[in-house]
């Protein structure tokens, strides 16, 4: 096999940032089979006493998800949270305009919090400011966070939850510049709503942090203007700016698809620069960080799903199959590269959420009768979440480059390192984007001194379109490679995502 030469340098002094573990968060929305038939299915043989699938809980616990954003998403635009609390037999069925489905409200605020306790995650709770507003947000905050003594806190107690949920992180709406949103707003309209909602919520509970919704995406017409207007108006009261990004490969152009993570990196840096500019302009002392709370690959089922939603008559289904992406091997490579970019920008990105968690754009897939399998993207998420906690270390990378349809000078090697919390291990996450050639890498660890390789995990496959399915759940799996005898030498196979663990002597 032909090979290319590359080099990376990692040094203790090349610190990017302490990594906020919430960067490994996820997203759960009342959409398709994410909730009903996914995390909740009381008829399934794996269901626990609360109706939650234990096999899903176990798989989520493998991913060690610290924060989960809920209940939407587009769903939240017409959501009435009061419909989802209290006795289940009195909860109304309502139309969900976002996905043209019927919402049964069998899972609401309290059930979500019960499930989060089972998987050891905290909530990012999203409030509806598209069709409701400030008072609704205050009422939900009171219901969740006050111990007792008010109408809504006492209502929670009457529902069997004596202790408050104490939710720390609250999101003000979702993608409200989108034409698909019920309650779409202009940049200035949303900026004022976000300001006044955040101001009121923090007056009611000074312990919370607030995430304001950014534009629906960097390709959207209001991108840039939306974020600038929002920060101008709301900067004293918001803590995070939400960003969303999905990548597509409808052209089936692997080289160009892998290059799109350069745009992802630029997207984060451009918003970081805007935040810095607005901080100076507003003479503000408030640091606003990035919450990249929807990121993933999404294109396989997108066209057909959107057509089926658009063409529905009055007979709207309950929890149909929607957005169930059959992620292939190259999708896993892109997801792994996006995780590398998040770590490389961990000084900016303090919260992130791959969208979503179960069945919908998900690493975890389920079927009836206790059947579960892991999509290809599960594995880079799993290993990065497990070993990517500590301090992010910037690499100096020398690599051959290539040009693709939309990008020039794309490095074949992309890598970042993480020094673990007790500084006994250094883990390098690396991807070889070459379609056909191995990368032989000279590794320079500078002031880390002598290192011993503990483990080399690689995600490789000869078929970029290989997928895991219920019938063949192990088509794409990580493998443990033979460890390099010398820490200074390394070979990465073509089209491979790699995790390299080193012990610091």
Per-residue pLDDT of the chain (505 residues; tens, 9 = 90+): 678 999 999 999 999 999 999 999 999 999 999 999 999 999 999 999 999 999 999 999 999 999 999 999 999 999 999 999 999 999 999 999 999 999 999 999 999 999 999 999 999 999 999 999 999 999 999 999 999 999 999 999 999 999 999 999 999 999 999 999 999 999 999 999 999 999 999 999 999 999 999 999 999 999 999 999 999 999 999 999 999 999 999 999 999 999 999 999 999 999 999 999 999 999 999 999 999 999 999 999 999 999 999 999 889 999 999 999 999 999 999 999 999 999 999 999 999 999 999 999 999 999 999 999 999 999 999 999 999 999 999 999 999 999 999 999 999 999 999 999 999 999 999 999 999 999 999 999 999 988 999 999 999 999 999 999 999 999 999 999 998 877 788 999 999 999 999 999 8
Q: How far is CA 267 from CA 264, 364, 401, 411, in A?
A: 5, 27, 21, 18
Instruction: Mark whether 251 is an active-site residue.
Output: no
Confidence at residue 295, expressed as pLDDT on a 0 to 100 scale? 98
Instruction: Mark whether 325 is an active-site residue.
Output: no
Which residues touch 51 (CB under 8 Å, ≥6 apart)?
40, 41, 42
Pick the catalytic residue from 29, 103, 294, 325: 294
Q: Measured between alpha carbons, how far apart are the two ends of the chain, in Å?
A: 34
Residue 58 in tokens: 């176990």
3-13+392-504 topology per CATH? Immunoglobulin-like (2.60.40)
Nearest-10 Cα torsion for 379, 380, 386, 392: 180
Confidence at residue 505, expressed as pLDDT on a 0 to 100 scale? 87
Dist CA 413 CA 258 (whole Å) = 11
Q: Please say whether the beta carbons of 341 and 349 come within 8 A.
A: no
> Which H/E stretch holds residue 392?
strand 390-398
Confidence at residue 314, expressed as pLDDT on a 0 to 100 scale? 86
- The DSSP secondary structure of 321-369, one letter per residue, reads --S----BHHHHHHHHHHHHHHHHTTTTEEEEEEE-SBSSS-SEEEETT
Residue 36 in tokens: 């009903």
Q: Please say whether the beta carbons of 333 and 497 come within 8 A.
A: yes
Sign of dihedral through CA atoms 128, 129, 133, 138?
Answer: positive
C-alpha gyration radius of the chain: 23
- In CATH, which superfamily holds the domain spanning 20-128+184-195+209-387? Glycosidases (3.20.20.80)
Domain ranges in the chain are: 3-13+392-504, 20-128+184-195+209-387
Q: How would you write 226-283 as a 3-class SS string?
A: HHHHHHHHHCCCCCEEEEEEEECCCCCCHHHHHHHHHHHHHHHHHHHHHHHHHHHHCC
Buried b (16+ CB within 10 A) or exposed e, 432-461: bbbeebbbebebebeebeebebebbbbbbb
pTM check: above 0.75 = yes
Which residues touch 274 (CB under 8 Å, ≥6 apart)?
224, 227, 228, 231
Confidence at residue 3, expressed as pLDDT on a 0 to 100 scale? 83
Q: Please say whether the beta carbons of 376 and 300 come within 8 A.
A: no
- Evaluate the omega torsion of the peptide bond into residue 7 and state whether it is cis, within 30 degrees of 0: no
Residue 272 in tokens: 């970081």
Pick the catalytic residue from 111, 175, 227, 233: 175
Confidence at residue 2, expressed as pLDDT on a 0 to 100 scale? 77
């Amino acid at each position: 096999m032909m090979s290319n030469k590359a080099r990376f340098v990692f040094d203790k002094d090349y610190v990017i940032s302490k990594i906020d573990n919430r960067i490994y968060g996820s997203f759960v929305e009342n959409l398709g089979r994410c909730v009903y038939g996914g995390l909740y299915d009381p008829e399934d043989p794996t269901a626990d006493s609360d109706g939650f699938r234990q096999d899903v809980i176990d798989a989520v616990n493998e991913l060690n998800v610290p924060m989960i954003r809920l209940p939407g998403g587009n769903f939240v635009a017409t959501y009435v949270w009061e419909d989802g609390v209290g006795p289940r037999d009195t909860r109304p069925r309502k139309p969900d305009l976002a996905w043209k489905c019927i919402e049964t409200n069998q899972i609401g605020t309290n059930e979500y919090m019960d499930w989060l306790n089972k998987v050891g995650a905290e909530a990012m709770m999203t409030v509806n400011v598209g069709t409701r507003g400030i008072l609704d947000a205050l009422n939900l905050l009171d219901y969740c966070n006050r111990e007792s003594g008010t109408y809504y806190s006492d209502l929670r107690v009457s529902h069997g939850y004596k202790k408050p949920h104490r939710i720390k992180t609250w999101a003000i709406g979702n993608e409200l510049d989108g034409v698909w949103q019920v309650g779409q707003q202009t940049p200035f309209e949303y900026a004022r709503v976000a300001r006044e909602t955040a101001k009121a919520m923090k007056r009611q509970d000074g312990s919370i942090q607030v995430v304001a919704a950014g534009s629906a995406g960097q390709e959207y017409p209001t991108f840039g203007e939306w974020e600038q207007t929002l920060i101008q108006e709301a900067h004293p009261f918001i803590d995070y700016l939400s960003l969303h990004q999905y990548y597509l490969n409808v052209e089936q152009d692997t080289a160009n698809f892998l290059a799109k993570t350069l745009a992802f990196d630029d997207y984060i840096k451009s918003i970081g620069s805007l935040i810095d500019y607005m901080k100076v302009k507003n003479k503000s002392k408030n640091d606003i960080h990035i919450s990249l709370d929807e990121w993933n690959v999404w294109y396989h089922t997108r066209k057909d799903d959107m057509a089926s939603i658009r063409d529905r008559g009055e007979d709207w289904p309950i929890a149909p199959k929607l957005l169930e992406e059959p992620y292939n091997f190259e999708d896993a490579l892109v997801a792994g590269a996006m995780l590398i970019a998040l770590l490389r920008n961990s000084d900016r990105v303090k919260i992130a959420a791959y969208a979503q968690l179960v069945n919908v754009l998900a690493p975890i897939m389920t079927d009836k009768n206790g059947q579960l399998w892991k999509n290809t993207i599960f594995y880079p998420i799993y290993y990065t979440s497990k070993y990517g906690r500590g301090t992010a270390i910037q690499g100096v990378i020398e690599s051959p480059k290539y040009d693709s349809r939309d990008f020039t000078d794309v490095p074949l090697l992309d890598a970042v390192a993480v020094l673990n919390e007790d500084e006994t291990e250094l883990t390098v996450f690396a991807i070889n984007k070459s379609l056909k050639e191995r990368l032989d890498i000279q590794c320079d660890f500078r002031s880390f001194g002598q290192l011993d390789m503990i483990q080399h995990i690689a995600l490789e496959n000869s078929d970029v379109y290989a997928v895991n399915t219920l019938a063949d759940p192990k088509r794409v799996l990580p493998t443990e490679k033979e460890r390099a005898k010398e820490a200074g030498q390394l070979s990465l196979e073509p089209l491979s995502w790699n995790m390299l663990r080193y012990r610091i002597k």
